[in-house]
Amino acid sequence: MAEDGWQERERLDDPARLRSLRQVGAEAAPDPAFDRFASLVQRMLGVPVALVSLVDDHRQYFPGEAGLAEPWAGKRETPLSHSFCRHVVTEGVAKVFPDARIYAQVRDNLAIPDLGVVAYAGVPLNDAEGRTLGSLCAIDTEPRAWTADELAILTDLAEACTSELRLRIARAQADEARQHAESARAQAEAAQTEAETAHEQLAMLAELTETFATTFDDGAGMRKLAAGVVPRLADWCLVTLATKDGEVRHAAAVHRDPERAADMERYAELLLTGLTPRSMVPVTHRLGQPVRRSGDSREAMLARVGDPELVEIAERLGSASYVIVPVTAPVTQEVLGSLSLVNGPGRPEFSEADERTAVDIARRAGLAIDNSRLYAQQRHVAEVLQHSMLPALPSIPGFDLHARYLPAQDGAAVGGDWYDAFAQPDGSLMLAVGDVSGHDIEAAASMGQLRNLVRGDAYGRDDDPGPLLGQLDRAVHGLALPTAATAVLARVRRAGDGYDVAFANAGHPPPMLVHPDGRVEVWWETPEPLLGLLPRTVRTTHRRRVPSGSTLVLYTDGLVERPEEILDEGIARVRLSLAKHAGLPGDELCELLMSGTGRHTDDTALLLVRFG
C-alpha cells in the first residue's frame, strides 16, 4: 500500500476518532436534528442533495439527508468506495469539486456512476479535540461553479452542525463520568474509612459535573464551583479567571464558616491588585502546572504578595496547606484560571489523591468555561446573521423611519421576526412587519425568503396590500416553503396635507397610530388567517386617513405579549405608553418601547414611521 494510503487508513482507524463517533450516538437512520441541517443546506444552496455524512473505518452513513435517491435514501449509508467525504476526514479540510469527473483524486469514485455525484462541496465536522468525524456536504448532479457565498453559507451551517456533534459528545462523556462515579462509589463501600472519603468526593464530582452541564459564568458559576468543594475537600476555596498575561481578572472565594464571608469577599477583591508575579496564583497561571505546599511562613508569604492585608486575611482564615491547579481549555490547553484549595491547621495536609481530584475538577471547569465561550461566540455569529437579514431603512423626504430588532433571551439566538420599508417608483412608501413561526436558524432562513418575496412581488406594482398579501400566500404554497407567518403590509401615499394608508393584516397584532395631539388609535380589523396555512384568494385592504405629524407603529407580538397577560392587555399597556410619551423623538420612543418588554422570551421587531 502506498504511503499516502497508509496515512489515510491510520486516520480512519484512529481509536480516539472512532470513540467520538460512537459518543455522537447517530446511526444510518433518520435523525431529526441532522435532517434539518441537510434540509437547510439543500434549500439555502439550491442543490438536489445535501448530507450530514459521518465516516467510520469502513463506511459512511447519513444521519441527515435531503434529496438522496433510492435505494441510498433508505439505506442511509454507502461503503467507502462511494465516499467523497472520506477525503474531508483524512485531510481535515474542506473539499470542493466543481466537476468530480475531471479530478484525479475522485474521478474513479463509484459515487459518480451509482449516486450521480458530479459537483461536490464538503466542510469538515470536528469534535472538540479537532478530530474530523465527517462532513456537511452539498451535491449537484451537474457541473457547478461553487460561489464564495455558497461556500460561506455551507461553512456557517457546518459550524452549527459541529456544535450539535460536540454537545452530544459532551453529554455522552458526562454520562460516562456519572457511570464511572457510581461504579467507583459502589467499590468504595468495601473499605469503611476510604469508602466514606471516596463517596464524598465522587458525589461532589457528580454535582459539579451537573452544574457545569447547565451553566458557568464569571460570577454565579465560579461561586457554585467554590461552594461545591467546601467543606468536603477544603476549608476554603478560591476560583480565579486569568487574562492572557496570567493576571487575575476575576475571583470568587467561599469559606466553610459563613461568618468569614466578609473576609472572603475582601480577599477576592485584593487578588485583583495585590499579587506580584511571584505569587502562587499567577505562577500557576503562567506555568499551567499544579502547586501543592504546606507550612509557608509569614515571611515567605509576605515576600510573594504585594499587599500585606492579603497575608493578614489568610492567617485569619487559616492557611496551613494548599493546592493550586490550573483551569485549562480542553483543546488549546490555554490557561483560563485556577482553582485553589486551602486547609487550616486543624485539617490534614493535601495528598496526591486530593491534588488529582482538584485537577479533575479543574479539567471539568475548563471544559464548561470553554463551551460557554463557544456558545457566546456562536450566539454572536447568529445575531450578526439575523441583523444582516434586516434591511437598512431608506431616507425618504417627509418620512422619519426608525426600527429595532431584539432577539429572545431564551433558546436560540435567531428567529423569524422582521421589518422592512422601501420606496416605490411612484413615490409611495411600502411598510412590512412579520413574524415567521419558530425561533431557530430555520425560522431566520424562512424569514429571509419571505421578506425577499414581499419585496420582489410588491416593487414596481400599484396593487393594494390585500392583493399583494394574497399573491404572497400563493407563492408560499406554490414554492412549498415550509413556514407559517403573520404579517402586516402597508402602502403610504401623500394626499393633500396628509397621507392615505392602505394596509392588509394576516393574523398579526394591529398597527397603532399616534395622532399629533397624543391620542392613540388601534387599527383593529376582522382577523384573517396567517400566511402559509390555507391559500386565500382574497385578502382585505383597509384604508385610513392620517394627518401630518402622526406616528405609525408596526410591531411583532414580542412587544405586547407577556406570560401573565392576554394580548389585549399587552396592547393596552403599549397604547398607554405611546400616549404618555408621544412627544419623544423617534429613536427615544423606540428605545422606550423596547425597554418595556421585560425578560423577552420571544423575538421583537419594531418599525416606527413619523409623517412629516
- pLDDT level of residue 406 (50, 70, 90 thresholds): confident
User: Quick check: 137 pLDDT over 80?
Assistant: yes
pLDDT of residue 177: 87
Q: Are 232 and 272 contained in the same domain?
A: yes
Q: How far apart (Å, rounded) are the C-alpha atoms in residues 287 and 277?
A: 12
338 and 453 together in one domain: no
What CATH number has the domain bearing residue 572? 3.60.40.10
pLDDT for res 197: 47
Question: Is residue 421 domain-resident?
Answer: yes
- Determine, yes or no, domain membership for 188: no
Same domain membership, residue 133 and residue 28: yes
Average pLDDT over residues 193-201: 47
| Domain co-membership, 246 together with 103 | no
Q: Are residues 438 and 544 in the same domain?
A: yes
- Does 92 have pLDDT greater than 50? yes
Mark whether 67 and 133 lie in a shared domain. yes
Position with higher pLDDT, 458 vs 184: 458
Same domain, residue pair 404 and 547: yes
Q: Residue 193 — pLDDT band, cuts 50, 70, 90? A: very low
The terminus-to-terminus CA distance of the chain in angstroms comes to 79
**What would the mean pLDDT of 327-354 be, rounded to a whole number?**
89
- Report pLDDT digits (tens) over 465-484: 999 999 998 888 888 888 88
Residues 592, 573: Cα–Cα separation, whole Å: 13
The reported pLDDT for the residue numbered 386 is 55
Q: Is the pLDDT of residue 147 over 50?
A: yes
Instruction: Answer yes or no: do 50 and 110 share one domain.
Output: yes
Domain boundary among 350, 375, 400: 375
What pLDDT sits at residue 190?
Answer: 46
Cell numbers at residue 431, please?
A: 411598510
pLDDT top residue among 387 and 246: 246
Torsion angle in degrees (nearest 10) through CA of 241, 243, 249, 255? 30
Pair 267, 143 in one domain: no
Band of pLDDT at residue 366, cut at 50, 70 and 90: confident
Whether residue 102 is found in the same domain as residue 163 = yes
Q: What is the pLDDT of residues 253-287, one digit of tens each?
A: 899 999 999 999 999 899 888 888 889 898 999 99
Q: What's the average model confidence in pLDDT over 25-47?
A: 95
How far is Cα 181 from Cα 203, in angstroms, rounded to an integer? Answer: 8
Q: Cα–Cα distance between 381 and 374 in angstroms, integer?
A: 11
Residue 193 CA, chain-centre distance (Å), reads 46
My answer on whether 121 and 28 are in the same domain is: yes
pLDDT value at 373 more than 80: no
H or E stretch covering 50: strand 49-55
pLDDT reported for residue 567: 87
User: Lowest-confidence range among 435-439, 576-580, 596-600?
Assistant: 596-600
At 485, which helix (H) or strand (E)?
Answer: strand 485-495
What Å distances lie between residue 298 and 153, 302, 310, 331, 340, CA to CA? 60, 6, 11, 39, 19
DSSP 294-330: E---HHHHHHHBS-HHHHHHHHHH--SEEEEEEEE-T
Mean pLDDT of 86-99: 96
Give the neighbor-by-neighbor strand order of the sheet with 95-97. Answer: 77-79, 59-66, 49-55, 132-140, 119-126, 95-97
Instruction: Please report whether residue 187 resides in a domain.
Output: no
The tens digit of pLDDT for each residue in 167-183 reads 999 999 999 888 888 88
CA trace torsion 605, 610, 611, 612 (10° rounding)? -150
> Span 160-173, mean pLDDT?
93
Average pLDDT rounded to a whole number, residues 66-89:
95
Instruction: With respect to residue 465, please indicate whether it lies within any of the assigned structural domains.
Output: yes
Residue 577 falls within a domain, yes or no? yes
pLDDT at 194 over 50: no
Work out the widest C-alpha separation in the chain, in whole angstroms. 94
Instruction: Answer whether residue 461 is part of any domain.
Output: yes
Question: Band of the pLDDT at 250, cuts 50, 70, 90?
Answer: confident
Stretch among 65-79, 356-370, 502-516 having the lowest mean pLDDT: 356-370
Q: Which cell numbers in the block locate residue 583?
A: 412627544
Q: How far apart are CA 286 and CA 275, in angstroms?
A: 14
CATH label of the domain that carries residue 140: 3.30.450.40
> Please, which pLDDT band fits residue 565 given cuts at 50, 70 and 90?
confident
For residue 138, the SS3 value is strand
pLDDT at 409 over 70: no
User: Phi, psi (5° rounding) for residue 125?
Assistant: -115, 115
Among the candidates 341, 375, 409, a domain finishes at 375
Query: Residue range 21-26: average pLDDT?
Result: 94
Domain annotation covers residue 194 = no
For the entire predicted model, the pTM comes to 0.47
Q: Which three cell numbers stand for residue 434?
A: 412579520
Q: Is 173 inside any structural domain?
A: no
- Taking all residues of the chain, what is their mean pLDDT, rounded to a whole number? 87
Average pLDDT over residues 19-28: 94
Q: Which residue has the higher pLDDT, 303 or 402?
A: 402
Rounded CA separation 401/145 (Å): 40
Mean pLDDT is lowest, of 102-106, 182-186, 208-212, for 208-212
Domains identified in the chain, total number? 3
**pLDDT above 90: percentage of residues in the chain:** 57
Pairing of strands 95-97, 512-514: unpaired
Could you list the residue range(s) of the whole structural domain that residue 319 is in? 211-375
Say whether pLDDT at 515 is over 90: yes
**Is the same domain home to 428 and 569?**
yes
Q: What is the pLDDT of residues 520-562, one digit of tens each?
A: 999 999 989 999 887 777 899 999 999 999 999 999 999 998 8
